[in-house]
Structure 1
Amino acid sequence: MILKRLIFALLIIFSFTSCTSDDDASTPDRRSIEDLETDFQALNLQQGINDVTLENLNGSSWNFRVIIPESASSTERPLVLTLHGAAGGDVDAHKNTACYAEPGFAALDPIIVSPNGGTQLWNSAFNQDLVIGLMYLTQKYLNVDRDRTVVTGYSNGGNGSWFYAEIYPEIFTASIPMASSYSTFSSNGSVRTIETPLYVIHGENDELFPLAETQEWVAATRDAGTNVTLEVAPGLTHYESCNYSPYLQNAASWLQDEVWD
């Protein structure tokens, strides 16, 4: 059922991003989901770090990292999707997993997927295509426990973590935004409830995204019924992402003890 929902979401997003006004008979045939699956299977992913490029459905490229633990050969592993910060187009942005994702989730021994969002925000149509596509492929072809899937990220990636928790609760069973700025108020002033459990980590001295705003948004959605925990990282600013690793370890314990138990 989860895979059916994933492929449905992927088809909807793809149909939106691929529609153009100048389609004609000379337009080459678009790639199918079957083409995408065939190419993913041909990647021959190995234990350890795999940095790969995959041609997506509309002919452009997805760049991403997949980290596969040794334990994945024998048992289903949790799946961590980690979204990098910024949107500056750094071609290596998805390779920064050693900073906080790897040490932060070490106790879970998960499969880690880290996509490169390019110059677009994580809620863009292209990046929704990327995220949903990778979730579909990894859940179908890797040894993933579909009941233990978490989206996390820092700064822009933290905002993306909120977004995917809210918009795709059928795909992610938990979300861990770090150093984020995501209002839980709708334009009419009402507060939105998010179905996915969240563990929000925020630096006390974040100079880009003030702590007080995040505290207000967390408190409001918690009062509305969202299962959300806020941990404040004492003394940390916005530009100390690697120092968030111990707090991510706390979030990993929360996953094991309170969400996935």
Structure 2
Amino acid sequence: MNSNILKIVLIFSVAVFLSCSSSDDSNPPPEQRTYADVQADFQELDFQPGINDVSLVNTFGGEWFFRVIIPEGDLSSNPRPLVMTLHGAAGGSPDAHKTTACYAEPGFEAINPIIISPNGGTMDWLQFANQDLVLSLIDLAKDYLPVDDSKIVVNGYSNGGNGAWFYGETQPDLLSAAIPMASSYNTYNTQGNPRRMNIPMYVIHGELDELFPLEETQEWVEATQSVGSDVSLEVAPGLTHNEPCNYVQYLKNAATWLQNDVWN
């Protein structure tokens, strides 16, 4: 670029900057929202026994939508397990987090937990914004709901199952177990060596899953088992990928596993 033209561009840029900087403060930028604000708003939510569909404005100014299911009865001296259940890919449906009756509610009935089901929008559960959502909701629940923080579990189906693997692998100090369903999660590192999972996992997979072949999930489970991971695989005979409500019995088996093998 000609040096005279470059000088003109730089002078113009500085002038624009100074002009913007010297403008009046009649429309100042909104005050930065903090996590303390989110905590205060969470405490104001009026959770009742049963289903609570609520939302919070997060620290980025966006809105989190999620469902919280509170067990019946006096929980003041009876803290409950917490199940974070992650829906499958839903194309951004505003109601994706409201499908708990399909498998999470009946599947975990025996442990009578608090269930939180967030809406992940169009993103997968590994992306930063959804990591912030999931981990913040667990943190808020631990602080302000009657949660037994030694019994926090992540569960999910399909894309949510991949999320269950991910949080189970990356948050071993926070979670006691992970229950991925109909998932696809490579347990090898970039050098081709299996990675070890540091919490127990109960993997549920349909025999006829046409989206995520069973053979692939079996290989990844066996690979991580070979380096000492406590990961079990239960195959659901005859089930395909797109019938999550038919996996209830297998999730009930996972709830029994939690009681007998993980929390015992």
> Which runs of 5 or more residues in structure 1 are unaligned?
1-23
2:235 corresponds in structure 1 to 232
TM-score (norm 1): 0.89
- SS of 1:80's equivalent in the other structure is strand
Name the CA distance, whole Å, in 2 between partners of 1:32 and 1:169.
26
SS in structure 2 at match of 1:171: coil
1:188 Cα offset (Å): 1.2
Cα distance in structure 2, aligned partners of 1:193 and 1:27 = 47
Would you say the 8 A contact 1:87–1:120 is kept in 2?
A: no
Select the structure of larger CA radius of gyration. 2
- Counterpart-to-counterpart distance in 1, 2:219 and 2:257: 22
Aligned pair in 2 of structure 1 residues 254, 28: CA closer, same or farther (>3 Å)? same
- 1:54 and 1:210 map into 2 onto residues whose CA distance is 37
Contact 2:90 2:96 in 1 (8 A): no
TM-superposed CA distance for 1:27, in Å, is 4.0
Give the 3-state SS of the residue equivalent to 2:100 in structure 1.
helix
Q: Does 1:109 align with 2:112?
A: yes
Structure 2 counterpart SS, 1:86 = coil
1:119-130 equivalences under 5 Å are: 119-130=122-133
Separation in 2, partners of 1:186, 1:136: 29
Determine the C-alpha separation between the residues in 2 that align with 1:221 and 1:87. 29
Report how far residue 28 of structure 1 moved. Answer: 2.6
TM-score (norm 2): 0.88
Report the counterpart of residue 32 of structure 1 in structure 2.
34
Q: Once the 2 structures are TM-superposed, how far is the Cα of residue 87 of structure 1 from its aligned partner?
A: 4.3
| 2:186 corresponds to 1:206 | no
Q: Count residues in correspondence.
A: 238
How far, CA to CA, are the matches of 2:162 and 2:88 in structure 1?
Answer: 9
* Whole-Å separation in 1 of the counterparts to 2:192 and 2:252: 35
Q: Which moved more, 1:28-37 or 1:245-254?
A: 28-37
Note the 1:82-231 alignment, pairs <5 A.
82-231=85-234
Q: Which has the higher contact order (CA 8 A, sep 6+)?
A: 1
C-alpha deviation, 1:74, in angstroms:
4.0
Instruction: For residue 73 of structure 1, report the CA deviation from its aligned partner.
Output: 4.2
Structure 2 unmatched ranges of 5 or more: 1-20
Contact 1:152 1:175 in 2 (8 A): yes
Kindly state the Cα deviation for residue 31 of structure 1 after the two structures are TM-superposed: 1.1
Number of the residue aligned with 1:46: 48
Secondary structure at the aligned position of 2:197 is classed as coil
Aligned mates of 2:30, 2:193 — CA distance in 1: 46
The one-letter code of the counterpart of 1:235 is G
1:56 is aligned to: 58
Deviates more, 1:201-210 or 1:64-73: 64-73
Residues 199-234 of structure 1 deviation map (CA, whole Å, 9 limit, x = unaligned):
000000000000000000000000111100000000
Residues 42 and 56, structure 2, Cα contact 8 Å, conserved in 1: yes
Moved more, 81-90 or 67-76: 67-76
Q: Are the equivalent residues in 2 in contact too, given 1:87–1:121 (CA < 8 A)?
A: no
Alpha carbon RMSD of aligned pairs, Å?
A: 1.2
